[in-house]
Amino acid sequence: MNGKKITVLIFILSLSIALVSGCTKKIAPEESGEKVVDFALVIHGGAGAMKKGLMSEEKEKAYKAKLTEALNVGYKILNEGGTSLDAVEKVINLLEDSPLFNAGKGAVFNSEGMNELDASIMNGKDKTAGAVAGVHHIKNPISLARLVMEKSPHVLMAGEGAEKFAVENGVKLVDTSYFFTESRWESLQRVKKIEKLKNPIFEPAEKKESKFGTVGCVALDKAGNLAAGTSTGGMTNKKYGRIGDSPIIGAGTYADNNTCAVSCTGHGEYFIRYVVAYDITALMKYKNMSVEKASDEVINKKLKAVGGSGGVIAIDKEGNIAMPFNTSGMFRGYVTDKNEPEVKIYDE
Ligand code: ASP
């Protein structure tokens, strides 16, 4: 082959490589700035030490079934043109009503053997928000949080005052016995035993087998609006009056149409101190990070470095989704108009 032929061959070769790579280059949605889905919804059911094999197959199935049911509820609302706010509330209601999760029925017990519930919700469209903390008689705290947002001039209401506000707005109170589950009661007894053996400082839960179990949901609706919500019983054996990150706007929940919607789960004290939900949106806003990068940075770098365990779910205005966690597992799932519900528990 003479020199001229070789040059032509190299030219053709490089041209075809350029063409092929041009065709196959995946344009990251966050780079394109386009909405990648019409609507999407992400949920979590808490992060913690869920190692494969530790949970019975039956239990695993039950969790997956309930998470899938929740995703289907959200899908239906969003598909019919409902708002992300409605989807978040209704999906969380379903999880609150399930004894499997640490929210509503099935909430963990505090050190006094009481269930003290926290929740918050935020609308990314106008950044309105509502939250309740330390309530004892509210079947669906996320709905009361929404009432605070829509029917009061306030953002956060706590304890008896929040319950008085609930009654004034037609919410029926439930007896504290409604929240009781045997497994959460046993958890409290186990933690108390461990506490007696060790020095008597507050231990968040039986560290090794701890599953936090909070529930959360973030959604993007067809109109392009984001919303986020979180509901929890807090942490087993928490001190009376302790309030976690879940009802704190900016810590456990945040939504801004310009960046993303976030719901957190994990060791609340860290999430409050590191203002986790807002930090993710701030990294996107001020550092131009993608939702995946910002969530990963906060959960797997910042929080992990200081021993703050947990995870988040987040969705941006284009429908890009992130679900990072630094524990061994996190109940989680998502659905969009383009794909079937997908549910996961472990690091897979
Ligand atoms: N973050 C919650 C709290 O500290 C607990 C959890 O997410 O499981 O109250």
CATH number of 40-346: 3.60.20.30
CA 339 – CA 318 distance, rounded (Å) = 15
> Residue 26's pLDDT is what?
31
Say whether 300 sits in a helix, a strand or coil: helix
**pLDDT for 54:** 83
DSSP 219-279: EE-TTS-EEEEEEE---TTPPTT---STTSBTTTEEE-TTSEEEEEEE-HHHHHHTTHHHH
User: Where are the chain's structural domains?
Assistant: 40-346
Task: List the beta bridge partners of residue 232.
Answer: 118
- List CB contacts of 196: < 8 A, sequence separation 6 or more: none
Tokens standing for residue 45? 């059911």
Does the Cβ of 266 fall within 6 Å of ligand 1?
yes
Separation between Cα atoms, residue 212 and residue 215, nearest integer Å: 9
Q: How many angstroms does the Cα of residue 146 sit away from the middle of ligand 1?
A: 19
Four-point Cα dihedral 94, 321, 328, 120, nearest 10 = -40
Residue 265 Cβ contacting ligand 1 at under 6 Å:
yes
Of the candidates 128, 176, 214, 327, the residue annotated as catalytic is: 214
235 CB within 6 A, ligand 1: yes
Averages of pLDDT over each 10 residues, the chain, 348 residues:
52 44 36 80 94 88 97 98 98 98 97 97 98 98 98 98 98 97 94 78 48 90 98 95 98 98 97 98 98 98 97 97 96 97 94
Q: Under 8 Å CB-to-CB from 182, ≥6 apart: which residues?
A: none
Distance of CA 215 to the CA centre of its chain: 6
Ligand 1 atom at shortest distance from the alpha carbon of 242: 9
Q: Taking Cα atoms as reference points, which of 147, 79, 91 lies closest to residue 261?
A: 91
Ligand 1 pocket test target in 108, 230, 240, 246 with most atoms within 8 Å of CB: 246
Structure tokens at 100: 């499997």
